Every structure is written in structure tokens, then in C-alpha cells.
Amino acid sequence: MEKKIALYPFLPESQNFVDEEDIGLVDLLENPRFASARSRARRRVKWSIEKGRIPPAENLDKELDRHSELFSYILSRLIVSCIKDDYLVKRYALSESKTFYSRIYRETSLEVKEIANSLGIESAITEQDFIVSLVDYLKSSSPLKEKSWKLVNRKIKSGKVFLTEKKFRRMLQEVVRKKIEEDLPLDVPDEVQSKLKYILEDIMQTLEKRESKFELDFEGIVDKELFPPCMNKIVSDARASRNLSHTERFAIVSFLININVGYNKILDIFKSSPDFDDERTSYQVKHIAGNHSENKYKPPSCETLKTYGICVSPDWRCDRVSHPLGYYSWSLKSRKENENQD
């Protein structure tokens, strides 16, 4: 088996290899031959929940190790499919794709091009750039929210988009994430469920442990009804485990800080985001909050939010304010007035 097949188990050639081996489900789940693949699969899923990445592989010089690396991926997918949890699927796909990114880092440009080709992305290499079609670019890069990914900031000629090699690799990470996420959960026969029972219980516990860390009592902390539509959208995106762009994060955090939501409550909101990273987020929130109240960052104005495409379905109140905080204080005031009338 080529090393590539073990390292990039979601490529069609890896799939072909698995098909040719023709290993029965029962073997995979019970045969001692696959014991190490099973234990690695369990770690694969566990790490993805706990750390957002896949545990590093053995050096894969031995055929045996490659074998169990490849089949641990097949088993991981079965595990994730048994649990049928939207958050887990997203988190797992993200983790696999991050590991993919770190692995292709060691490949030559030509190899990266080949891997991309297997993933359905055709490209051409020039001295400085990777060139991809507009259609592939838009489809793969649309979840990437950083400004430099906007088409407007790219070099594009006759439907060909120019990317640095680093950006091209990053785009491929997105392709892998999407591919894994879209394929899951697989239909798994009941017998798999029962045969994997001991692993599934472990994974469920890990998942619960993580979830209990971030009970989402967002409704409890401030009244979301008073928020402008844009901020509401970001909060629901975060809760639906969608990735937030840097600007969206900044906007919601600075907004919440300015309406005096506590630091820990803010962290809670982000914990359901699939790429949540405890340390990084808490650093960011602290930074935005500033040491003293006068150092606090203000959220961007409506105009800026519009530029970043964060402004969504503005309502009648939006037409009359120019800042999300203005919206909030107005709606808060009207709420109080209403209450007084009652």
C-alpha cells in the first residue's frame, strides 16, 4: 500500500484499495487483526471531540501500520455515523481536515496538485501560483470568511483564480472538510451499533463531558429579542455549530461586552462552534474586553457590518439606527416603556 493511501484515506484511490481488500464488516468489528485499527479509530474520534484534531500517526513505514491507519478511518466513520450527532459530524470533519492540512504541508507542490486532482479540483501551477477555475474556487472557498478570500481581493483572469500555494492548500482543507461532512452519517446496520457498543459508550461520554462544559443557557443571560437581526443571526449560527468568521466573532463579542454580558457567558456561546479553541477564544474575548472599561472595543457600525456582509434582514428599527448598540438601547428603552405602561 502506498503511504498516500493511509495518509489521505478519503481519496478515491484509498476507497478503491478498501474495496479491493474486500473486508467484511464483521472482520472489521471483531477480528483481532483489526484491533489496533479499532483502538486508533476510537482515539481518532475522541481526539476530534477533545482537541479538534486527529492524533498523530505512527511513522507508517511498516505496511501493517499503514493498514491500520487506513482502516481506522473507515471505522471512525462508522463510529461517528452510529452516534448521529450534528455537532460531532461537523467537529469530526473539521478535525480530519485540519490533520489533512498539516499532512499536505510536507508534500511537494506537484504532489499537492495530484491530491487536489483526486479531490476533483483541477489546477495549474505557475512559478508563483496555483490556478483554479472560478467555479471550484467559489464552491470551496465560500465558508472561508477572511477578507483575503473574497473574490474581489484575488487575481482573476478569464475565469481562472490565482492562489498562493499556501492558500491553495488551505482551500483543499475546506474541500476535504466539506466532503467528509457531506458523506456523514452513513447508513449503518444495527449489528454495527451493538458490536461497537463499548466504543460508542466511551465516545458518548466524551461528547457529554464536553457538552456539559458548555450548557447553552443563552436565552437566560440577555434577552435575544432585543438584539438587532445581525447579532441574532451570529448567535444562532454559533449555536448551530456553524463556523464564524473573524469579523463575526469580533462583532458579537464586542457587542455583548458593550451590553455588559459577562466574560464567561460570552465564552459559552462560542463553545458550540466546531472550531472552538478554549485558550484562543478566551484570549480574544479578553483582548476585546480590554483591561479597563474605557479600553473596550466598540462593535462595528451598521455600515461596516454591511461591507462585511454581516448585516442580514434589517427590520424597521434598523432603518433608523446606524449602530447595533443604538438598536439595542432603543429596543431596551421601548421594552421598558411598554412594561411601565402595563
Contacts with other proteins by CB under 8 A: the residue count is: 23
* Binding flags for other proteins, 243-282, as an x/- string (CB under 8 A): ----------------------------------------
User: Could you say which of 25, 60, 156, 188 contacts other proteins (CB under 8 A)?
Assistant: 156
Strand order in the sheet with 130-133: 123-125, 130-133, 160-163, 155-157
The torsion angle over the Cα atoms of residues 167, 171, 172 and 177, rounded to 10 degrees, is 140
CA gap 267, 155 in Å, rounded: 37
Whole-number minimum distance, CB 310 to other proteins, in Å? 11
Whole-number minimum distance, CB 103 to other proteins, in Å? 28
Whole-number minimum distance, CB 96 to other proteins, in Å? 23
DSSP character for 225? G
Decide: is 153 part of the binding site for other proteins (CB under 8 A).
yes
CB 150, CB 139: distance < 8 Å:
no
Decide: is 159 part of the binding site for other proteins (CB under 8 A).
yes
162 SS3 class: strand
Phi, psi values for residue 112, rounded to 5°: -60, -40
Q: CA 169, 175, 176 angle in degrees (round to 5)?
A: 90
CB-nearer residue toward other proteins: 163 or 261: 163
Give the helix, strand, coil percentages of the chain, each rounded to 5.
65, 5, 30
Decide: is 212 part of the binding site for other proteins (CB under 8 A).
no
Whole-number minimum distance, CB 304 to other proteins, in Å? 11
Decide: is 154 part of the binding site for other proteins (CB under 8 A).
yes
Provide the H-helix boundaries in 105-196: 109-118, 134-141, 165-183, 190-195
Other Cβ atoms less than 10 A from the Cβ of 211: the count is 15
Phi-psi region of 173 (alpha: psi -120 to 50; beta: other; left: phi over 0): alpha
CB-nearer residue toward other proteins: 60 or 144: 144
CB-nearer residue toward other proteins: 110 or 152: 152
CB-nearer residue toward other proteins: 59 or 126: 126
Whole-number minimum distance, CB 159 to other proteins, in Å? 2
DSSP character for 135? H
Q: Which of residues 298-337 bind other proteins (CB under 8 A)?
A: 307-309
Whole-number minimum distance, CB 299 to other proteins, in Å? 18
User: Could you say which of 22, 24, 110, 157 contacts other proteins (CB under 8 A)?
Assistant: 157
CA gap 260, 74 in Å, rounded: 47
User: Could you say which of 61, 106, 127, 152 contacts other proteins (CB under 8 A)?
Assistant: 152
* Binding flags for other proteins, 112-151, as an x/- string (CB under 8 A): ----------------x-----xx--xx--x----xx-xx
Residues of the shown chain interacting with other proteins in the complex, contacts defined by CB under 8 A: 128, 134-135, 138-139, 142, 147-148, 150-160, 162, 307-309
